[in-house]
Structure 1
Amino acid sequence: MPSHRTSTRRRFLSAVGATTLAAFAGCTGTADRFDGTVGDGVDDVENPTADWPLPNFDAAATAYNPSPVGPTEKPTERWRVDSESTPTARVTVVGDTAYVPTWNALLALSTKDGSERWRVGPIADGERSPSPYFTGASVSNGTVYVGTHDDRGVLALDAETGEERWRYRNDGRYYATAPLPIEEGDYVATGDDRGHVAVLDAETGDPEWTFDAFGAVEALAGSLTTLYVGTESGEVYALYRGRGMWRRKLPGAIRALAAQGSTLHVGTFGGGVFRLRGGAHTGRTEWHAEDGFVAHRGMSLADGILVGSDLARSQGIETETGRVRWQVEGDFGTPPAASHATAYLGGGSGVVAVALDGGVGVEDARVFPKRWTFSTDSAVESGVTVADDALFFATSGREQDSPRVYALE
């Protein structure tokens, strides 16, 4: 009896043969015959948007815009500008403004030509850090929410002018994860390096409720009225208005969360990737990909595929089974993004676009997942943002090059 691997290889070769024959016959779109519906993209999108308002797109931290707003063919530069400081997190885009967090400043740039609209830099005195080190910026209802490593803590800024509206800080030294607008933007969830979680009134910055977790808060995700928290100590919490609904200890530090209703996907450092159940089995492991990617600050939960990256590869894992559907080798040490049926990976030498379904093939035997590659002079440091029919990202720079912000279309 043939092994599973042999059987898969035979089906793969048959699929490739059928594709080749169809191509000679003048047919197109033959890959759909073998790929099914997973990763094909969502065609009927509710409330489509060309924005990317949060570092991981939405409160659930899916890093996936189902609308086809990203380039599927190799793009060209719309613009690039020097940022003067190393980027710290993914660019966010709302309307015609891109918000770029760096070590020394939060920049607001025009999406059309990269010109600067405003910036918020270091405070004049009293800071305990040599630079603010801004987190990713979250934009909701005309306000930008961003965390810092200095005495200001969390800032709420006017999205048009950068003027400060309020600030919040507990006893922690810094905020490593971006503030997360939840419950339609009425509240903003925050977490600091001492495990202090605070859900703030979005208008005033006053705490609505607080919770103390074990370990520095590294990831936040929301689903309806549930707030998920992941910490450096490997703890995952599900909170409802300050009360713990469940708690799990996982191997390895928590690096990324992505929610799908009451089901939670968790990326760890050294412990693999988990899917934790909702419903009657809330918090229990549905599957565990032990050899899965080491999530770096984010994953993309996109049309049945969980995309994650590390310094050695990027993988697409089927969310229903936990099986690796495709893998691309390379240094992709930044959080991925996805739009419709394409995943975008930032890495040491530029940006790679990958077919979300993994290309032609059967199960884990697939070829031609890459759509295109765009090379840069230095490493993509921020991850990729898909918005305004373009891609936005920032590079780290080298000795002879300054850090830069790019827009591709």
Structure 2
Amino acid sequence: MDGRRRVVVTGIAMITAAGMDKETFMKHAAEGRSGLRGTLLFPTDKLRTDYFGETPKRYAYEIQAESDESRTEQIFGDLAEELLRDAGLDAARLADLDERAIFSFATSVGTNDYMTAHVKQVLPDSVSRGNLHKLPPKLGIRGATFVNTSACSAGTTAIGTAFSMIRAGLADLAAAGGVDPLTEFSTYGFHSLQNLSALPCRPFDRRRDGITLGEGGALFMLEEREAALSRGARIYAEVLGYGLGNDAYHPTSPDPTGQGAYRVMRQAVRQGGIESAEVDYVNAHGTGTVINDDMEAKAIALLRPDCRVSSTKSLTGHCLAAAGAVEAAATALALKHGSVPPTAGLDEPDFEDAPLRFVRGRAEPVRLRYALSNSFAFGGNAASLLLGAHVDRDEASPEQPRSGFARPESAPR
């Protein structure tokens, strides 16, 4: 071991179109059942599609009075309650940690409902404000708060930020993740870019034609490993490293060579102290657009072409800033339960020059050791998170990698 503090996942809360909790998500993922369907939240007659990843619970869509909670706050409230329960903690205990407990959050359109209500003159001028200041008190967190808005890589960056703080000894516990709601504002933005799919998105398929927007979010409870073990916490996975970078190529289009995506995956793998040949699974950004999927397939093939690959956006839709958190949660659950979620709707993979081992149709049972969760965003923002299956031992043997995980004899080096 290299002396750095180890960071583990002790709680996961998920709300997506594929289920209001992680158990329902895993059940639907096992069956390859997508949650993409029509929406009644707003008119879709002027859009190319009426398919969205709306949550099963009917959260209020618009603020009608000063006392109303925004859709972001409603979703976050349910996630926060589930996260505390799942981690075996409560807000009072987190408050007792004072500055040692931190909050790292991601959103893209989380405050737009207040602005919309103000523009529509539903609320007086004095109520034209954001809502993110209301979130940490729901968890009892008194330490540093970070809000990341780096578009669709923000959820992954939020988790990476929390990981770095704990690993460096600047915090002992963090709630990290993201929430984004479905809105007309974001929908018409993507419609103007002409990249909404007419049908439910089908990442990496030869017939793919764009994204399907989703909503919801996910929260992680991250803790320093020794503290988690001392309180008998259940551990889902270990966070080993993450990579951040920028394509520096185009405001909305990724570098078609895949080099930017490859760099952040390589950075995450190196920070985690493993070899790229040891990555067993990549939860791809996999939006379903022609350009994104093409460049990501090239990038993964550069890293390790024979690892398993899937895109859970085919189950949940693209949750914007929350996407990275949702997909990291799916990745941690895959490690914990030995079940790789599939890409729904993937009938004809389109990458003869970058053949990959796509998981499609139904979940694939397999023992995983290491997995990456990718996020690539507008502005060239790129992020990748490396997670590992947790091993309950203090020290690794000489045959094990620096991260402290067992290496089967058959594993490539």
Same-fold status (TM-score > 0.5): no
Q: Which has the higher contact order (CA 8 A, sep 6+)?
A: 2
Structure that is richer in strand per residue = 1
Larger CA Rg, structure 1 vs 2: 1
Structure that is richer in helix per residue = 2
- In the superposition, the TM-score normalised over structure 2's length comes to 0.29
- In the superposition, the TM-score normalised over structure 1's length comes to 0.29
